[in-house]
Chain A
Amino acid sequence: MSNSTQTTIEKVNATLERRYAKERRFRKMGIAAIAIGLLFVVLLFVSIISKGHSAFWQTHIKLDIEFSAELLDIGDRRDIETLSTANYAALTKASLKAIFPEVDQRKGRRMLYKMISIGAPYLLREMVINDPTLIGSHQTVWLPADDDIDMLVKEQTDRNLPESSRRLNDKVIGWVDQLMARGAVEKLFNTTFFTAGDSREPELAGIGGAITGSLYTLLVALLLAFPIGVATAIYLEEFAPTNRWTDMIEVNINNLAAVPSIVFGLLGLALFINLAGLPRSAPLVGGLVLTLMTLPTIIIASRAALKSVPPSIREAAMGIGASKMQTIFHHVLPLAMPGMLTGTIIGMAQALGETAPLLMIGMVAFVVDIPGGPLDPSTVLPVQIFLWADSPERAFLERTSAAIMVLLAFLIFMNLIAVLLRKRFEQQR
């Protein structure tokens, strides 16, 4: 061996340092990529949570309400009909007048009465209808404040601006300060936000209706998409002969998974509403459209799960005399189930965040009443976010972010279930 030729180990040693450096660079790039991804997630969460957290509390004002039959203008009648049409606004007005007796002009009084939410009389009505014996008694009641007051108390409007460019004038701010000094203003947990339907008054608006709508929609989608998707996957993977037809079906399923979701909305409009005559804005139709949308995802995931079951399982089952049906349902399917469930849950999570297809079938709508079934008009959570983001009232800004937080919580919860299910099935193996 001459000096000019190197041994193999020398060759390796010469390039070793360079190759190590390459690997180190690659690792650093990977860490940088993850760091950038994490940074954006953190930014998103910080921005949404910092904007939205305050919406979970709502400013309330303590009022001493006298449930006087005279003010309610009901005399001695206590039947439901009379009680539900009585003048409850008079009660809050009288109470405010008692706190600020110096306000006597009509304009000043109007400003004073506006400090309490428009919805307060309905709350009082509910109290009285639930317990008519309240009439004639004095009660201390915490009532929601108007959204402008709420924004002031939460310091989201700047009180130092010139009076003309503020929503509230000095007088009203003075009254709020007086009430605060007496301890009659407090931020209480905003249960309305979770129980109520939509409203144009931010302090009365909630996501209860939208969550119910989302649940019905997803229920319909799950009941249809899971069995159809799994059945299709099993047939295509285990029974179907390989020929031009099944190839074509396979290609088309893969294509459908990439079709923009609005197209499914148009299809739903033509098929379910115009042809089948189902009602607009109903979760049933929404669920059907989302079924169409999630089916390809579920089929593809389920087929991949079936494919990953080792052939030895099938052969062993066949070898001890199981029929094809028995092989699949007793041995292959249980092993493929975690993958199928994961695919389904991810498909459902995708469906939960979808608005575009629902636009076409009328689910982007103002719905106050909480839907009682899959045929009542309703919206879904992402649509509610979209509608609030477009509202002029300042207080909807924080409610939009709060609704996004709830939606994200649901998505994380669903993904968590997917992970847990997979873990459990894997342990059983």
Chain B
Amino acid sequence: MINKRTLLAVTLALAATSVTAASRDYISIVGSSTVYPFATVVAEAFGKSTKYKTPKIESTGSGGGLKLFCAGVGVEHPDITNASRRIKKSEVERCAKNGVKEIIEVKVGYDGIAIANSNAAPLFKLSRKDLYLALAKQVPGPDGKLIDNPYKTWNDVNPTLPNSKIEVLGPPPTSGTRDAFSDLVLGAGAKKFSDLKALRKAKGEEKVKALMIKLGIPASAYNKKGKKVFKAVAYAVREDGAYIEAGENDNLIVQKLVANPNALGVFGFSFLEQNGDKVQGSIIDGVAPAFESIADGSYPVSRPLFFYVKRAHVGKIPGIKGYLAEFTSNKAWGDEGYLTDKGLIPMPKQERSQFASDVKGLKPFTL
């Protein structure tokens, strides 16, 4: 009998609390796993220093976050989404269709991508062209036509590099780091070849097709948008074992690099900073990955990070304004703020104050 009564009481209690769940008293944040380590620090500081609850942050990836964010307005939908790339036009349209019309865009700062190897091995001095030649599935051959990647050692790619096997551990295609790596390294390396550069810029079916013949790309690779041919060619990574997909866990890549001094690894700058006693960041196009070189833009492999706020939720969900104020304060994202301790590269002062004032005025952005 007592059992039945407690069971009933518990069910009633559950039912009663589910009624109160119609309003939410904490901020709900979703999005990129790259912004996650920074957003969580701000959320924690915000929760500790104000009377509001600490925001809840889910790491769903940039695309997954925007999908949840754009699903609609109301307590069951997230208030903020983090992204390691800018929102796409198609996503803005999807948002608008579901009633999410006014979105505030906040650029957080920059994140560098390091190409590193074990401290026990010699330091690599690479160019983006070297990396493209070493990792692309197809590269221009002696006659200018694309051939399957023939290079086995770094020495084959560039005589100044060591004579060791090409072995790169990097993120899988689902990761934002991989997107940025494709864009900033492989794409940029491919552009060093004039025909590929022309293919990227070519507009109109005839021009693209002529270049495709010149490069020896089968006509079946063509589709309506000419630019996609370049991406399909330049961003394809070789599948013969030289590039090893090591999963999303950057700690794992660091451990594997220590175990295998011949391998290079691709991961976020914050992991390089935390593991400086184990791995060293290769010099890319003459610039070493360092806080200063990423901040002034001279290190070529870096990308901006963003988050997006639903304006309709400001004032409805308690604390959003406070969270925004905490994030855009100098003690957080400033030159010596606590986010820099976690590896975030701050924006120049002027850009920061621009975003801070936009955020204060809750100015919705337009693409």
Q: A interface vs B, CB < 8 Å?
A: 110, 118-119, 122, 157-158, 161, 164-167, 199-201, 223, 273, 277-282, 284, 362, 364-369, 373-375, 377, 387, 389-394, 397
Given contacts A280-B28, A362-B58, A365-B56, contact A167 B276 (CB under 8 A): yes
Residues of A within 8 A of B56 (CB): 281, 365-367, 377
What are 30 A-B pairs at a CB distance below 8 A? A118-B338, A161-B277, A164-B276, A165-B119, A165-B276, A166-B277, A199-B44, A200-B37, A200-B44, A278-B21, A280-B58, A280-B76, A284-B18, A364-B59, A367-B54, A367-B56, A369-B26, A369-B54, A374-B14, A374-B17, A375-B21, A377-B28, A387-B59, A389-B249, A390-B33, A392-B251, A392-B270, A392-B274, A392-B342, A394-B274
Distance in angstroms between the alpha carbons of A387 and B250 in the assembled complex: 12
B262 within 8 Å of A (CB atoms): no
Distance in angstroms between the alpha carbons of A63 and B37 in the assembled complex: 30
Given contacts A365-B56, A368-B44, A374-B14, contact A390 B277 (CB under 8 A): no
Distance in angstroms between the alpha carbons of A157 and B276 in the assembled complex: 11
Residues of A within 8 A of B249 (CB): 389-390
Majority SS of interface residues in chain A?
loop
B266 to chain A, nearest CB (A): 15
Nearest 4 Cβ contacts at the A-B interface: A368-B54, A366-B57, A377-B56, A365-B58
Residues of B within 8 A of A166 (CB): 276-277
Determine whether the beta carbon of B47 is less than 8 Å from that of A368: yes
Determine whether the beta carbon of A200 is less than 8 Å from that of B17: no
A81 to chain B, nearest CB (A): 9
Determine whether the beta carbon of A369 is less than 8 Å from that of B53: yes
Distance in angstroms between the alpha carbons of A165 and B275 in the assembled complex: 8
Residues of B within 8 A of A387 (CB): 59
Residues of B within 8 A of A200 (CB): 37, 40-41, 44, 342
Determine whether the beta carbon of A364 is less than 8 Å from that of B280: no
Determine whether the beta carbon of B275 is less than 8 Å from that of A394: yes
Nearest to B53 among chain A residues (CB) is A369
For chain B, the count of residues having a C-beta within 8 Å of the partner chain is: 44
B219 to chain A, nearest CB (A): 40
Determine whether the beta carbon of A392 is less than 8 Å from that of B277: no
Residues of A within 8 A of B18 (CB): 278, 284, 375
A265 to chain B, nearest CB (A): 13
- The CB with the most chain B CB atoms within 10 A, among A273, A368, A393, is that of A368
Residues of A within 8 A of B316 (CB): none
> Within B193-251, which residues are at the interface with A (CB < 8 Å)?
248-251
Distance in angstroms between the alpha carbons of A278 and B20 in the assembled complex: 11
Distance in angstroms between the alpha carbons of A392 and B41 in the assembled complex: 13
Contact with A along B255-271 (1 / 0, CB 8 A): 00000000000001011
Determine whether the beta carbon of B53 is less than 8 Å from that of A390: no
- The CB with the most chain A CB atoms within 10 A, among B21, B250, B338, B342, is that of B21
Nearest to A397 among chain B residues (CB) is B251
Distance in angstroms between the alpha carbons of A374 and B13 in the assembled complex: 10
Determine whether the beta carbon of B43 is less than 8 Å from that of A369: no
Determine whether the beta carbon of A165 is less than 8 Å from that of B277: yes
B255 to chain A, nearest CB (A): 10
B7 within 8 Å of A (CB atoms): yes
Given contacts A277-B76, A377-B56, A392-B270, contact A167 B277 (CB under 8 A): yes
Distance in angstroms between the alpha carbons of A373 and B36 in the assembled complex: 25
Residues of B within 8 A of A390 (CB): 33, 248-251
B48 within 8 Å of A (CB atoms): yes
A251 to chain B, nearest CB (A): 31
Given contacts A157-B277, A165-B276, A375-B17, contact A223 B10 (CB under 8 A): yes
